[in-house]
Amino acid sequence: MGNYDETLATLKFATSVKSIELKATAATKVDKDQLLNTLQEEVKKLKEQASAAGPSSDEFEEIRRRAEIAERMAKEQESSWEVLRKQSEEAQKLREETAKKMNIMRWTPINKTAAAGLLKPGMGGLPLPHIINESDDPEMAGKVYFHIGREGHKYCVGRAEDCDFKPAGLTDKCPRLCYIWKDGDEMWLRMHEVEKPKEKAGMSGRSALVLSRLMGIADPTQVVRGHNSLKNDDEGDLPAHQKVNPAHLKVRLNSRLVKDEPVMLKHGDRLVFGQGKKNRFRVRLVKGDFPENSARELLSVEDELKENFDSLADLIGEGRACDAELTSIAVKYYSQLRQQSDLDEEYEMMLRGFLAMMQQTQLQVNEANEITARMKKGLNMTYELAMEAPPLALGHGKPNRTFPELIVRKVSEVKTAKSRWRLVKNRLFLISGRDNVDPAEYFTKERSREAKVVVRDVFTPERFKNHMEVMEGAYKGWAASPETFDLKEFGDPWDDGEGAGDAKDADAESGDRDSGGGGGHGNDVALIKQKNREELSKFKEDKDAEITKIMEEYEETQETLRETQTLAEEQEQEIAALKEALANFQGKGCSDERKIRNLDRDKARLQFDNEALEVELQTHRAMMKKAESDDEDNDDPFDDLTKMVEDNSRLLTDLTELRGGTHVGYNRVVTAVESHRK
């Protein structure tokens, strides 16, 4: 019950998460110019306040010096910002010029509307001549081009580090594929020469028998095996440039393989680098539309069937191309197709188109077999190209327009000796009573004896294309992570379905052969699953890329904001220090003014007291003179008055010192005056 609650809670949470929407918001942009202007205005106001603070002094000069330093820092910051901006623009121009000189492969992001016009005149001012990619996907068409710039310079195409142009689809088995160069108004292409290793001659049966007797070996085959093992060991010591697989060194010009001789490229020619048709490019020599498909752009195999072994293998497979009899039959069949009509131009185009489709399908079959060999090692299953036609006819269609239908068979090889021995016994039985055997039964039994494969499924070209998409998607997932790969998530393209049996048990004891058509019905479902998976993966990648871009912009903005904030804090600290110094200076000036006012007030009070004392002294002197005239006593009755005069003299002395700037206690003067009054 606890697991049920947890599962229910998880499902509810997943349902709620679906309603979450992600919205991208632009980061706040910091205007450094406006910030610097604000700091400059603040410094200007500070200088004005310092100028109006009062008379000049050391503190005032210090404030002015700091204000000048702050202003100089603001100007340096502004100039450094302009220098960095100019350096960034110069670096960008230098990168673009370097890329043009090095002929680096360029990717040009465009939208869907512009994708349709990529192969039309103009091309956004791309330099001529150049080659530009083609693709069935409009999103990828016209995204890669390579400019043939320097006159006479041979640009190398391949996978090696020193190659000038490195198409993404090439493998390590073709480090150097071909060379392209410009000679005046012409453009040429030549294949890269590969040194083929010298093959040792094989050992004949007579030589093996003689050597076995001399060496005392009963089985002569052991001598042959030892000779072959030594041959393989010698081949393992070959240099790296001789280990290149010649099968991967292919360049097709208008669907025809390029040989060792240089070929001239014309405007509108199609180039295919490597195996398959993933790396397709068109040659552009002049401005204007590419020419329409003409006879030279379609596959012409009349000469290749007689001269070109590689092209013949691309049509009928490498296994049949190695057999002289099967090759002769292929040439005869081709001649019969040509003899069906008067070889008018329309039929000639149809025939070449049919052969081009055959070649394209054969390449897909080869790719399917290669994927099967890598992902399903040991699986007894291969794909082969075949043709289907009405009874006793070369193909379908109107007279003089008949062509067979191409099909792809999924087959398994018959291996076990038990099944073959059973077929041999059936043949002996049929031969012994041939006159009494039904011809249809004889044909069925004889065909079963001679058959080497069991047909598991049959595909039309359209259905096989969907089947290949499933296989390619599964192969990409397997190549990305072989350890964690789960084939069920992509749909198993090798599964025949229920009741079809295992491909490894193709030689069942019953001896009956499967005519195909059963199984393999899950390709559509697997393709839908894979397409949804690819769309979801692409959507996730786009979202991750968008989020990453936003985060990078946010980090850059945050870094700029932090630098600006640091600069603003430093300026604010400087301004605060200047304000504090100005406040201290103004406060000190106010304190001095208060002291001066107090001294002036004390001075006025002392002057008033001094005048009163002088008046009182004069009065006492007058009284003393009058008393002297009346009193003849020898005693001096004015001792107290003399003492008071002395005190007044002392007060006047203190007042004089006070006026002279000498600091005299105010309490002393006031106390003396009060005691005198008493």
Question: Contacts by 662-669 with C-beta closer than 8 Å and gap 24+?
Answer: 666/602, 669/602, 669/606
Give the C-alpha distances (Å, rounded to integers) separating 512 from 229, 422, 427, 520.
40, 12, 15, 20
- CATH number for the domain spanning 257: value is 2.60.200.20
Tokens coding 435: 């006159």
> Tens digit of pLDDT for each residue in 137-146?
777 888 888 8
Both 143 and 259 in one domain: the answer is: yes
> Tens digit of pLDDT for each residue in 465-508?
888 888 888 888 888 888 888 777 777 788 765 444 444 444 44
Per DSSP, helices labelled H in 317-432 are: 318-321, 324-338, 345-375, 417-432
* Residue 534 included in any domain: no
Residue 637 pairs in a beta bridge with: none
> Tens digit of pLDDT for each residue in 225-261?
555 554 444 444 444 444 566 667 888 887 677 888 9
The pLDDT confidence band at residue 524, using thresholds 50, 70 and 90, is low
More confident residue, 138 or 666: 138
Confidence check: pLDDT of 417 > 80: no
DSSP 35-46: HHHHHHHHHHHH
Both 78 and 135 in one domain: the answer is: no
DSSP 603-655: HHHHHHHHHHHHHHHHHHHHHHHHHHHH---SS-TTHHHHHHHHHHHHHHHHH
Both 283 and 149 in one domain: the answer is: yes
More confident residue, 501 or 332: 332
Both 352 and 406 in one domain: the answer is: yes
Both 391 and 448 in one domain: the answer is: yes
* Residue 201 included in any domain: no
* Residue 49 included in any domain: yes
The pLDDT confidence band at residue 157, using thresholds 50, 70 and 90, is very high
Return the closest-CA partner of residue 174 out of 276, 73, 262: 276
Lowest mean pLDDT among 109-113, 202-206, 288-292, 324-328: 109-113
Confidence check: pLDDT of 296 > 50: no
The pLDDT confidence band at residue 88, using thresholds 50, 70 and 90, is confident
Residues 6 or more apart whose CB falls under 8 angstroms from that of 212 comprise: 218, 219, 220, 222, 223
Both 400 and 263 in one domain: the answer is: no
Confidence check: pLDDT of 569 > 70: yes
Both 266 and 167 in one domain: the answer is: yes
Pairing mode of beta strands 251-253, 256-257: antiparallel
Both 83 and 172 in one domain: the answer is: no
Percentage with pLDDT > 70 across the chain: 57
Both 447 and 395 in one domain: the answer is: yes
Number of compact structural domains in the chain: 4
Q: Which residues of 161-181 are buried (b: 16+ CB within 10 A; e: fewer)?
A: eebbbbbeebeeebbbbbbbb
* Residue 113 included in any domain: no
Confidence check: pLDDT of 1 > 60: no
Element (H, E) at 89: helix 58-102
Give helix 205-215 / helix 220-236 axis angle, nearest 10°: 100
Residue 188 pairs in a beta bridge with: 181, 264
Tokens coding 463: 């259905």
Both 251 and 141 in one domain: the answer is: yes
Neighbours of 148 (CB within 10 A): 24
Both 608 and 469 in one domain: the answer is: no
Asked which of 42, 67, 91 is the last residue of a domain, the reply is 91
Residue 129, preceding peptide bond in cis (omega within 30° of 0): yes
Tokens coding 133: 């990619």
Percentage with pLDDT > 90 across the chain: 4
What pLDDT sits at residue 202? 53
What pLDDT sits at residue 597? 80
Cα separation of 665 and 652, whole Å? 14
What pLDDT sits at residue 188? 94
Strands, sheet with 263-265, edge to edge from the N-terminal-most edge strand: 155-158, 176-183, 186-191, 263-265
User: CB-side exposure of 67: number of CA atoms within 13 Å?
Assistant: 22
* Residue 132 included in any domain: yes
More confident residue, 26 or 68: 68
SS (H, E, C) 463-519: HHHHHHHHHHHHHHHHHHCCCCCCHHHHCCCCCCCCCCCCHHHCCCCCCCCCECCCC
Question: Contacts by 335-342 with C-beta closer than 8 Å and gap 24+?
Answer: 336/394, 337/394, 337/403, 338/302, 340/394, 340/399, 340/400, 340/402, 341/400, 341/401, 342/400
Residues 6 or more apart whose CB falls under 8 angstroms from that of 62 comprise: 581
* Residue 397 included in any domain: yes
Coil, strand or helix at 416: coil
Lowest mean pLDDT among 324-328, 451-455, 552-556, 637-641: 637-641
Euclidean distance between the first and final Cα of the chain, in Å? Answer: 110
Strands, sheet with 280-284, edge to edge from the N-terminal-most edge strand: 106-107, 144-147, 130-134, 280-284, 270-273, 251-253, 256-257
Contact 208, 220 (CB under 8 A): yes
* Residue 528 included in any domain: no
Neighbours of 542 (CB within 10 A): 10
Asked which of 463, 490, 517 is the last residue of a domain, the reply is 490
Cα separation of 417 and 611, whole Å? 152
Both 606 and 476 in one domain: the answer is: no
Against a cut of 0.75, is the pTM above it? no
Q: Which domain holds residue 622?
A: 573-626
> Tens digit of pLDDT for each residue in 169-187?
787 777 889 999 999 889 9
What pLDDT sits at residue 180? 95
Cα separation of 347 and 358, whole Å? 16
* Residue 307 included in any domain: no
Confidence check: pLDDT of 430 > 50: yes
Cα separation of 158 and 166, whole Å? 5
What pLDDT sits at residue 239? 47
Asked which of 490, 515, 530 is the last residue of a domain, the reply is 490
Cα separation of 494 and 372, whole Å? 8
